[in-house]
Chains A and B, each alone.
Chain A
């Protein structure tokens, strides 16, 4: 595997379910991000981890719970979601936080549908 991978690619869940999204980066980066991409809205930054510590929790509802067990893996745990949470969830990584021209590398995303 190369780059940033995400699983599953598609997920359909009911409002009472609990599920997790997984992200893995194979680039040796030390910062990882979760974004939410909804139709006709700007990309929303949800969480940022640097050296496995959370440095940003961008007013995200508690029904989204991130976990970063090591610098290569990032999870997003989901529980009691709402239909408006349906979106494409993108994971990204970078070497260091924004600055110095370091670009972010994105995974393909998980398309989440909440029924």
Chain B
């Protein structure tokens, strides 16, 4: 079936460190891929998205590239800030046979000053 797998957290980094959060997916068809972020006490917000292979989504210094050959959509940021501390969710939609959005379990990021 369709699924999204994210690395287990929490991920703890010092400010200005490089961030990678891994995400791989299993899906039939041509899904769109998303990263959402959830800050404490809030709902999920779209961070970036990519709708086809080799597309790169980017926003607020975060980037992720849709890699069909490795079925991956890893999230990266060159220099994290304390304000980036949150839970990050990888998700897909538009897989064949389902209208559902499928989310990973989330990865908590903690950035220390």
A residues lining the B interface (CB < 8 Å): 4, 6, 33, 41-43, 45, 48, 55-56, 90, 92, 94, 97-109
4 additional A-B residue pairs with CB within 8 Å, beyond A94-B101, A98-B93: A92-B43, A97-B99, A108-B41, A108-B43
Known: A90-B44, A109-B42. A104 touches B101 (CB 8 A): yes
A-contact 0/1 string along B66-102, CB 8 Å cutoff = 0000000000000000000000010001100011110
Most A C-beta atoms less than 10 A away, residue of B41, B44, B94, B104: B44
Give the residue of A41, A48, A101, A106 whose beta carbon is less than 8 angstroms from that of B45. A106
Most B C-beta atoms less than 10 A away, residue of A4, A99, A105: A99
B residues lining the A interface (CB < 8 Å): 32, 34, 36, 41-46, 49, 51, 89, 93-94, 98-101, 103-106
Flag if A102 contacts B103 (CB, 8 Å). Answer: no
Known: A55-B99, A56-B100. A105 touches B94 (CB 8 A): no
- B36 neighbours in A (Cβ, 8 Å): 106
Flag if A99 contacts B43 (CB, 8 Å). Answer: no
Flag if A106 contacts B43 (CB, 8 Å). Answer: yes
- A108 neighbours in B (Cβ, 8 Å): 41-43
Supply 30 A–B pairs (Cβ within 8 Å), ascending by A. Answer: A41-B105, A42-B103, A42-B105, A43-B103, A43-B106, A45-B101, A48-B99, A48-B100, A55-B99, A56-B100, A90-B44, A92-B43, A94-B101, A98-B93, A98-B99, A98-B101, A99-B32, A99-B94, A100-B32, A100-B51, A101-B32, A101-B94, A103-B34, A103-B46, A104-B46, A104-B101, A106-B36, A106-B43, A107-B43, A109-B43
Cα(A10)–Cα(B111), bound, Å: 28
Cα(A114)–Cα(B69), bound, Å: 46
Shortest CB distance A37–B (Å): 9
Give the residue of A43, A98, A105 whose beta carbon is less than 8 angstroms from that of B46. A105
Flag if A43 contacts B93 (CB, 8 Å). Answer: no
Known: A101-B51, A103-B46. A43 touches B41 (CB 8 A): no
